[in-house]
């Protein structure tokens, strides 16, 4: 198998060269300037329109399909190579440097990532093919699902909807009828849905509001989702709480005071999954860490910024500085500290982050472990029962392996939809520090953003504010960590080619003074698409 990989390498390189020529033509035919290695999307919500494929592109598809099919057949060999890659430590590489052993290691790595390199290089054309024929992602190009970050959001969404339709077809169910009172929409919906078998939940929802004559042709179902989500996420229900700028929700640690609270969280998980199953949008926005819990992704200390930016700043300082002689910390959190961070939680006790943690001092060597454990405790352990109950209900309808093709930002767009962003309103409610509205960098910024499609506009808003939610009153009502806080653009100093960064708790974009509009466009697109953690205090 390994020899076959090596033998075929020149063939794949030749195919790659041919594709590169075609991609140049594709780039020239596009009305917007893009980077070949960045997923910027050529689409808007509800459409799959894109620049037409350039002449000759279709003739390359059979060869690309052959490459993908062969890669799938060699998956066993790929898996072994990837495992080898994981097992090669930095120490082994360093010890082998300059030797024949190092050459062997490098060959192992190269052989195992041939497919990924190829797909990364040609992601734009691959996505154009899939956009034209979505069935490719379920058949010959299915290997791309092993690297979902290379798939454009609209293609992922189309694949998700296709898989959901297949579930509908495989499990033909009768209508799911419920009758609820508007004044008791949560209680009535909970009582009628919580015990229904999973198969019943896959049926078409038919809602009747008691005392009303309306027939549900789709409108009543949409209204039911809207009414129910408002009540579920109302503070009086005690199930969810807002954090940070009060625009995003996550489970409330105090939900224990709500009768049958875990049963309610399972119900809410079912409702959110049912909305996805039905293609309905919810007017609710979760914290980044909660989206990660739904996806099964690891939360990091960066996610604490949405909860407590000062505490996040302290953790970041720890990681960037030598703490050998400056801190007196142990692997524990005291009661006052935990109470402050965990959103006003009552009756807390000292918590050990690891067995015997009160007696284990944090050192320069162990500070990364300490920060990881703190993040896990604050964002997971404190609300673990609520998270698990929500996921129990959610995964009844939407399998984890299907939803996990999305990242946390895309999951927000899938659940809540792409927002309508009034660029003139955003521009009118933006404040500048280090720049003025007349600065070249600012003029370029708004010209670049004006050319964005809806998805990129949403990604920019997520990058700077932490969510794609637009306030009902417009951007003048945008909230920060301490109250009203308009969109901010600050001049960033340092390396002229550094990426823009953001402080989501302050709705602040740190924008370097680039030398050209093209450089600003390239750096901004890279930041909003590829930056895993788009914020920082550095």
Please check whether residue 273 is in contact with residue 395, taking contact to mean a CB–CB distance below 8 angstroms. yes
CA 140, chain centre distance (Å): 26
CB burial of 53-87 (b: ≥16 within 10 Å; e: otherwise) equals bbeebeebbeebeebbebbeebeebbeebbeeeee
Angle at the Cα of 85 from the Cα atoms of 84 and 90, rounded to 5 degrees: 115
Q: Sign of dihedral through CA atoms 235, 241, 243, 247?
A: negative
- For 232-282, the three-class secondary structure string (H helix, E strand, C coil) is HCCHHHCCEEEECCCCEEEECHHHHHCCCHHHHHHHHHHHHHHHHHHCCCC
What contacts 26, CB < 8 A, 6 or more positions away?
51, 53, 54, 57, 124, 125, 128
Please check whether residue 123 is in contact with residue 150, taking contact to mean a CB–CB distance below 8 angstroms. yes
Angle at the Cα of 243 from the Cα atoms of 238 and 244, rounded to 5 degrees: 165
Count of all residues that appear for the chain in the document: 538
384 catalytic? Reply is: no
DSSP 85-125: HHH--HHHHHHHTTSHHHHHHHHHHHHHTHHHHHHHHTHHH
What contacts 477, CB < 8 A, 6 or more positions away?
471, 484
Q: Which two tokens stand for residue 515?
A: 């030398």
What contacts 271, CB < 8 A, 6 or more positions away?
189, 193, 225, 228, 229, 232, 393
- Residue 278 burial (CB < 10 Å; 0-12/13-18/19+)? buried
Please state the φ and ψ torsions of residue 283, each to the nearest 5 degrees: -85, 65
The residue annotated as part of the active site, out of 18, 71, 384, 505, is: 505
Angle at the Cα of 486 from the Cα atoms of 485 and 490, rounded to 5 degrees: 105
For 45, the 3-state DSSP assignment is coil
Please check whether residue 326 is in contact with residue 318, taking contact to mean a CB–CB distance below 8 angstroms. no
The end-to-end CA distance of the chain, in Å, is 47
d(CA 353, CA 361): 12
DSSP state of 476: G
Please state the φ and ψ torsions of residue 480, each to the nearest 5 degrees: -110, -170
DSSP 270-322: HHHHHHHHHT---S--B-HHHHHHHHTPPP-GGGGGGT-HHHHHHHHHHHHS-
Active site residues per annotation: 505
């Amino acid at each position: 198998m390994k020899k076959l990989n090596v033998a075929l390498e020149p063939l794949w390189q030749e195919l790659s060269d041919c594709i590169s020529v075609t991609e140049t033509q594709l780039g020239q035919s596009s009305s917007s300037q893009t980077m070949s290695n960045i997923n910027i999307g050529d689409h808007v919500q509800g459409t799959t329109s894109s620049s037409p494929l350039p002449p000759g592109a279709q003739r390359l598809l059979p060869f690309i399909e052959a490459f993908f099919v062969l890669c799938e057949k060699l998956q066993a060999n790929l898996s072994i190579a990837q495992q080898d890659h994981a097992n090669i430590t930095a120490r082994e590489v360093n010890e082998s440097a300059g030797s024949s052993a190092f050459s062997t290691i490098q060959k192992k790595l190269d052989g195992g990532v041939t497919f990924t390199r190829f797909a990364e290089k040609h992601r734009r054309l691959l996505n154009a093919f899939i956009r034209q024929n979505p069935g490719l992602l379920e058949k010959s190009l299915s290997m791309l699902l092993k690297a979902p970050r290379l798939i454009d959001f609209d293609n992922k969404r189309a694949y998700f909807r296709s898989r959901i339709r297949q579930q509908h077809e495989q499990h033909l169910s009768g209508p799911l009828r419920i009758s609820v009172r508007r004044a008791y929409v949560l209680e009535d919906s909970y009582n009628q849905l919580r015990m229904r078998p999973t198969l019943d939940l896959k049926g078409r929802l038919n809602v009747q509001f008691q005392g009303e004559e309306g027939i549900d042709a789709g409108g009543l179902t949409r209204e039911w989702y809207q009414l129910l989500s408002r009540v579920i996420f109302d503070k009086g229900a005690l199930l969810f709480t807002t954090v940070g700028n009060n625009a995003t929700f996550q489970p409330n640690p105090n939900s224990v005071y709500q009768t049958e609270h875990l049963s309610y969280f399972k119900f809410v998980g079912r409702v959110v999954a049912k909305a996805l199953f039905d293609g309905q949008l919810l007017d609710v926005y979760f914290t980044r860490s909660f989206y990660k819990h739904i996806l099964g992704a690891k939360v990091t200390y960066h996610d604490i910024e949405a909860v407590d930016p000062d505490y996040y700043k302290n953790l970041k300082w720890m990681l960037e500085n030598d703490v050998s002689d400056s801190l007196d910390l142990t692997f524990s959190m005291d009661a006052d500290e935990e109470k402050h961070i965990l959103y006003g939680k009552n009756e807390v006790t000292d918590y050990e982050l690891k067995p015997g943690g009160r007696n284990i001092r944090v050192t320069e060597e162990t500070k990364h472990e300490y920060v990881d454990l703190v993040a896990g405790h604050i964002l997971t352990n404190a609300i673990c029962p609520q998270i698990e109950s929500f996921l129990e209900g959610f995964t009844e309808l939407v399998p984890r392996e299907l939803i996990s093709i999305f990242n946390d930002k895309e999951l927000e767009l899938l659940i809540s939809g792409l927002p309508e962003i009034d660029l003139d309103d955003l521009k009118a409610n933006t404040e500048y520090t280090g720049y003025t509205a007349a600065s070249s960098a600012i003029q370029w910024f708004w010209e670049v953003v004006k050319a964005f499609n809806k998805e990129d506009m949403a990604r920019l808003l997520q990058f700077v504010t932490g969510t794609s939610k637009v306030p009902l009153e417009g951007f003048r009502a945008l909230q920060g960590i301490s109250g009203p806080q308009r969109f901010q653009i600050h001049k960033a100093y340092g390396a002229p080619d550094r990426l823009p960064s953001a402080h989501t708790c302050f709705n602040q974009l740190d924008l370097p003074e680039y030398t050209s509009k093209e450089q600003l466009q390239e750096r901004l697109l890279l930041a909003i698409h590829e930056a895993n953690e788009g914020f920082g205090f550095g």
